[in-house]
Amino acid sequence: MTETPKKSQEGREAAPKNPARTGGAASAAVTAERRRSKRRLAEDQRQRRVWALLGGTLGAVILVLLAGLIYDQVWVPSRPVASVGSTTLNTRDYRQEQRHAFARQVAQNFQLLGLFAGNAQISGQFAGQSPGINQQVRAIGDAPVNEETVNQWIERELKTQGANAEGITVTQDEINQELVGDLGQIFLPPPVIAPTATTTLTPTTEATLEPTLAATAAVIPTAELTPTPEVTTTPEATATLQPTPGPTEAADQVGQIIDELFRRYEIELAPSRADPELSKDDFRNALSAQYREQAITRKVQEKLVPDAGFTPSTEPERVSARQVLIAVALSEGASQEESDASFNEALLQAQAVAEELRGGADFAAVAAAESDDAARRTMVVS
């Protein structure tokens, strides 16, 4: 019996695969990989378009916000409101001027409250005004331009430029002294007055002799002595006028005034629970500008009307005046032509009189001869 030879294991493993099946699988793998690559590419492109759209939108938003910020913070504040000479008041400066005007209004209310503290009817008109002013400060940026504030700035700038042209200057020490002299009695605590010891004498009674009769009829004088007078001191407060503070003291007192002013401002705001829109610097700068202008005005007046060259008088100035009256004689029912002729005749006479006076003629003689109103030929005007 013949045995059929078996294929060895090595032969089966070494047999080549089907070329058709192998090529189809490779082609499918390549196609699948290409599809995945296309999908990834398309997804990347979509993501790039989304990011580009988001970036463009975000950039446009930022550009709009930046443009609005530049408009509000740069362009609008730089717009001119008024000018005096070469000095310009732009919107930013105007808003600061308006803050100072409100700060001065608050200070003036407290000053009037202190001056009329004994009159409730008058002082009540100035009490509790700070909350309303505080709201106005908050709305300065949206409010229309206040013409009164602009006019005050113009007047102050005119004074400043005029004073500079005359060589008149004001130092900060002078401003402080003006401020303390005006507001110190309202916002500074009263000065401590030291008691002055005064000596008073108690009246004394002189020793007297009282004669007494003894049984022996002898007169025995007896003397009664009064106590020795004592010197007593009675404390007595005497008010003295406070001198103008020196520069250093005035600067310290200005700080105290600003602190007290701001404290009262906060107290009036407390019931409304509103935060203060004005700062201590606002009050300080506002009052400094006010009293700088006041000091400039005083110095200009002193230069224009010096005390040494001014002689006051209670007698009114009297001026002697004389006139020559040329009357126009018009008959009743005169026509326009007749009236014009009369006026022209009077005008020629008046011109002749004026020419005669310019030539050196005596006024009294001419007036007596030519004037048609003898009662007013000579009069005195006071």
Let me know if residue 278 belongs to a domain: yes
DSSP letters of 194-224?
PPEEEEEE------EEEEEE-TT--EEEEEE
* Same-domain status, 376 and 248: no
Say how far apart CA 298 and CA 164 lie, in whole Å: 14
Residue 285 has a pLDDT of 97
Which residues of the chain are modeled with pLDDT < 50?
1, 8-11, 14, 205, 207-209, 211-223, 225, 231, 233-240, 377-382
Of residues 266, 260, 254, the one with CA closest to residue 290: 254
* Same-domain status, 281 and 344: no
- 271 Cβ neighbours under 8 A, 6+ residues apart: 131
Residue 116 belongs to what domain range? 82-189+244-304
Let me know if residue 238 belongs to a domain: no
Q: Name residue 60's amino acid.
A: A
Tokens of residue 55, six digits = 């970036």
* Same-domain status, 175 and 277: yes
**Around Cβ 211, how many Cβ atoms within 10 Å?**
8
* Same-domain status, 298 and 345: no
* Same-domain status, 248 and 285: yes
59-84 pLDDT, tens per residue? 777 777 766 666 555 555 668 889 88
Let me know if residue 22 belongs to a domain: no
Say how far apart CA 149 and CA 286 lie, in whole Å: 12
Beta-bridge partner residues of 322: 378
Beta strands per DSSP E along 10-90: 80-84, 87-90
Let me know if residue 123 belongs to a domain: yes
* Same-domain status, 133 and 271: yes
Distances (CA, A) of 109 to 128, 130, 207: 9, 9, 68
Give me the number of domains the chain comprises.
Answer: 2
* Same-domain status, 134 and 258: yes
* Same-domain status, 175 and 289: yes
The enclosing H or E element of 241 equals none
Let me know if residue 2 belongs to a domain: no
Let me know if residue 55 belongs to a domain: no
Residue 78: phi and psi, rounded to 5, are -85, -5
For residue 75, give the DSSP letter.
Answer: I
**pTM > 0.85: yes or no:** no
Residue 23 has a pLDDT of 60
* Same-domain status, 110 and 139: yes
Residue 20 has a pLDDT of 53
Tokens of residue 244, six digits = 């103008």
* Same-domain status, 377 and 248: no
* Same-domain status, 131 and 100: yes
Let me know if residue 149 belongs to a domain: yes
Say how far apart CA 279 and CA 262 lie, in whole Å: 8
* Same-domain status, 170 and 259: yes
Let me know if residue 277 belongs to a domain: yes
